[in-house]
Amino acid sequence: MSTLPKIGTYASTKKVQGMRLYVENIFGDDPSVFYLVEVIDKASTNDYSSLGDEMDKEQWEALVEEYGLEFQG
């Protein structure tokens, strides 16, 4: 069963050392059905001209699996 991601920083434990993403928002109530995640590179969180990405449930979960993303807080 899926769980909603948490707002905060996620770090890669596979492939790309030092890759850190920041989850800004999550939209959706039932993680087993559908949700959207707004994410940006951690280094760009204070740069208001930087663009983030919006991912659906499948895209986010594939990214977490591929890069071994772990919640850092």
User: How far is residue 21's CA from residue 59's CA, in Å, rounded to a whole number?
Assistant: 14
Pairwise pLDDT comparison (33 vs 1), residue with the higher score:
33
- Whole-prediction pTM value? 0.88
pLDDT score, position 29? 82
Q: What is the pLDDT of residues 12-66, one digit of tens each?
A: 999 888 899 999 999 998 888 899 999 999 988 888 888 899 999 999 999 999 9
Beta bridge partners of 49: none
Q: Does the pLDDT at position 1 exceed 80?
A: no
